Amino acid sequence: MPQSTAHITALDTYDIRFPTSRGLDGSDAMNPDPDYSAAYLVLRASDGEPEGHGFTFTIGRGNDVQVAAIDALRPYVVGRPVAELCADPGSLYRDLTGDSQLRWLGPEKGVMHMAIGAVVNAVWDLAAKREGKPLWRLLADADPAWLASQVDFRHISDALTYDDALALLRHGKHGADDRAAELLHRGYPAYTTSPGWLGYSDEKLTRLAKQAVADGFTQIKLKVGADLQDDIRRCRAAREAVGWDIRMAIDANQRWDVPEAIEWTRALAEFNPYWIEEPTSPDDILGHAAVRRSVHPVKVATGEHVQNRIVFKQLLQADAIDVLQLDSTRVGGVNENLAILLLAAKFGIPVCPHAGGVGLSELVQHLSMFDYVALSGTTDDRTIEFTDHLHEHFLDPARVGHGHYLAPTTPGFSATMHQASIDAYRYPDGTFWTADSATTDDAGTHHHALA
C-alpha cells in the first residue's frame, strides 16, 4: 500500500435517520414501523489522504446510543498512522474486540460490537480508496496469507483454523481472474423483498411481485408471522402473481417460538417456500436445528441478527441452517465477516446476505463478490437481498439490473453518503427534521426504482 506519514486526525459521528415508518416500507412481524437509520462516522486523515466512511444500520430509536458507542472508540483510532492502519485493519479490530474493559459490554455482541464493526469498516473503506480499488477487488487481489491474518480464530478454532483458511483462500485463487471478468460482465444474483412488506395491501403485493419478475428477479421474499390466515392469503396472491418457477422465500423476523415455527411453516408449505428466514430467536442455535429437522424440504435461513462468528460457527456445527445470511454492519466489520465467509465455505453452506435498510446493499455486495471471485468460486444458490430504498443518498449507490447487482468499480466500500443527505437527515437538527412539519407530505416515500 502507498507509504505516507499521514495519521488519523478525527473520527466524526452523525446520527442519521430517515422517516421510513411513514410509508410502512420495511414493516414486518417484529418491526412494524422502522425509521431506517445510520450511526455514521467519518475518519479524517492528514496529508491529503482520503476519508474512511462507515456506519451501523439501526431502525430508529437507540441510534443515539449506537453513536455514543462509536464515539467511545475515538481514542483508539485518532492519531494512528494511516499506512499502518490500512496495511493491517485486523490489528485495530483485535485491539477493539480485545480491549479488556470494553469487552465487558459484550463480549462481541450488541451495541459495542456493532460500533467496532462500523469503525473497522471505515478503515477498510479508507484502505480500498487508497488502493484505488473497490473493496471486493482489494480482497480478491489480496495475498491469501495476509487475508487469513485478518481473521480472529479465537473461539472458532474447533471449526476453522488458520491453516483451513489459508487452504480455502489459496484454492479460491484458481480461476479468480475469469470470475472477476464474469462478475463485471454479469453482476451478482439479487433477490427482492420489495413486494413483501407486511404493511402492504394485497394489491400492492401483487403489483410489485409481478414487477419484480418483469425486472428480472428470480426470487422474491414475503414477510410472514403476524397472522396465519393473512399469510396463507398473501402467499397465494404472490404465487398467483409470479407462478411456481420463481423462488419465494418467507421471513418471520424471529416472531415464533420453536413449536410454532414448525407448525406455521408446515401450514405454508403448500406454497413451496424456498426458505423460512428467522423462524425464531437468532440466539437459538438448537431451536433452528429443531426447526430445520421438522420443515424439510423448506430451507432454514438466518443471520441478520446473529451477533458474531461464534454463533455462526455453532449454527453450522449443529446443521441448523441451509442458508447463511450475514450482515455487513451487525458483526465486527470486514474482518469478522471474512471469518464467517470462511466458515460457510468450509461447511459448504451458501451465503445469501441480508441487505436493505440503509446502506446495507452498498456494503454487503463487496463481501459476496469477493466470495464469488476468490473464495467459494460460485454463485450457485447464492443471492443478495435487494430493496429499492434510500440508495440515492450514497455517492456510489448499489445498482441492480436484470436481477443482478452490478459490480462496483469506484474505489472504496461504497459507504460514503452525500453531504447533502447527512445535512438533511441528521437527527434531530438536520434540515429535514427541523422543517418536518412543512415536509411531512413528501417524507413518506423514499423509493427509487433502479434500472
Q: Shortest distance, CB of residue 80 to a second copy, whole angstroms?
A: 17
Please give the DSSP secondary-structure letter assigned to residue 323.
E
Distance CA 405, CA 183 (A): 9
Chain positions 234 to 293 lying near a second copy, rule: CB under 8 A, are 254, 257-259, 280-287, 290
CB-CB contact of 1 with 130 (8 Å): yes
The answer to whether residue 103 forms part of the interface with a second copy (CB under 8 A) is yes
Please give the DSSP secondary-structure letter assigned to residue 64.
H
Distance CA 340, CA 144 (A): 16
Q: Cβ closer to a second copy: 47 or 283?
A: 283
Q: From the list 5, 100, 419, 437, which residue makes contact with a second copy (rule: CB under 8 A)?
A: 100
Q: Cβ closer to a second copy: 104 or 244?
A: 104
Residue 428 buriedness (CB in 10 A; 0-12 / 13-18 / 19+): exposed
Q: Cβ closer to a second copy: 116 or 341?
A: 116
Q: Cβ closer to a second copy: 143 or 283?
A: 283
Distance CA 374, CA 34 (A): 36
Distance CA 56, CA 121 (A): 10
Q: From the list 13, 20, 66, 383, which residue makes contact with a second copy (rule: CB under 8 A)?
A: 66
Q: From the list 176, 232, 267, 318, which residue makes contact with a second copy (rule: CB under 8 A)?
A: 318
Q: Shortest distance, CB of residue 285 to a second copy, whole angstroms?
A: 6
Marked catalytic residue, from 7, 129, 133, 223? 223
Catalytic (active site) residue 354 = yes
How far CA 146 is from CA of 149, 162, 169, 219, 335, in Å, comes to 5, 11, 10, 36, 12
Write down the residue that cell numbers 498512522 correspond to: 81
The answer to whether residue 111 forms part of the interface with a second copy (CB under 8 A) is yes
Distance CA 42, CA 419 (A): 11
- Which among 156, 169, 136 has a CA at the least distance from the CA of 384? 136
Contact stretch for a second copy (CB under 8 A) within 53-61, 183-191, 295-303, 375-383: 53-61
The answer to whether residue 102 forms part of the interface with a second copy (CB under 8 A) is yes
Q: Shortest distance, CB of residue 197 to a second copy, whole angstroms?
A: 14
The answer to whether residue 24 forms part of the interface with a second copy (CB under 8 A) is no
Q: From the list 64, 141, 182, 202, which residue makes contact with a second copy (rule: CB under 8 A)?
A: 64
The answer to whether residue 106 forms part of the interface with a second copy (CB under 8 A) is yes
Contact stretch for a second copy (CB under 8 A) within 65-73, 84-92, 195-203, 394-402: 65-73
What grid cell was written down for 207?
Answer: 403489483
Contact stretch for a second copy (CB under 8 A) within 52-60, 183-191, 220-228, 441-449: 52-60
- Which among 55, 15, 17, 20 has a CA at the least distance from the CA of 37? 17
Q: From the list 80, 109, 223, 366, which residue makes contact with a second copy (rule: CB under 8 A)?
A: 109
Q: From the list 113, 234, 239, 389, which residue makes contact with a second copy (rule: CB under 8 A)?
A: 113
Q: Are strands 247-251 and 275-277 parallel, antiparallel or unpaired?
A: parallel
The answer to whether residue 213 forms part of the interface with a second copy (CB under 8 A) is no
Q: From the list 2, 62, 243, 401, which residue makes contact with a second copy (rule: CB under 8 A)?
A: 62
Q: Shortest distance, CB of residue 287 to a second copy, whole angstroms?
A: 7
Q: From the list 9, 149, 294, 317, which residue makes contact with a second copy (rule: CB under 8 A)?
A: 317
CA angle 136, 73, 15 (to 5 degrees): 80
The answer to whether residue 156 forms part of the interface with a second copy (CB under 8 A) is yes
Contact stretch for a second copy (CB under 8 A) within 101-109, 172-180, 222-230, 362-370: 101-109
Q: Cis bond leading into 32, ω under 30°? A: no
Please give the DSSP secondary-structure letter assigned to residue 401.
E
Q: From the list 101, 229, 419, 437, which residue makes contact with a second copy (rule: CB under 8 A)?
A: 101
In DSSP notation, 120-184 reads HHHHHHHHHHHHTSBHHHHHHHS-HHHHHHTS--TTTTTT--HHHHHHHHHHHTTTHHHHHHHHH
The answer to whether residue 342 forms part of the interface with a second copy (CB under 8 A) is no
Q: From the list 4, 9, 31, 91, which residue makes contact with a second copy (rule: CB under 8 A)?
A: 31
How far CA 218 is from CA of 68, 244, 267, 351, in Å, comes to 41, 11, 24, 17
Distance CA 345, CA 169 (A): 10
The answer to whether residue 221 forms part of the interface with a second copy (CB under 8 A) is no
Marked catalytic residue, from 109, 354, 366, 446? 354
Residues in Cβ contact with 130 at an 8 Å cutoff, skipping those fewer than 6 apart: 1, 2, 49, 50, 82, 86
Q: From the list 2, 12, 33, 440, which residue makes contact with a second copy (rule: CB under 8 A)?
A: 33
Q: Which residues pair with 417 in a beta bridge?
A: 394
Residues in contact with a second copy by CB under 8 A are 30-35, 58-62, 64-66, 68-69, 72, 99-114, 153-158, 254, 257-259, 280-287, 290, 305, 307-308, 310-311, 313-314, 317-318
* Catalytically annotated residues: 223, 354
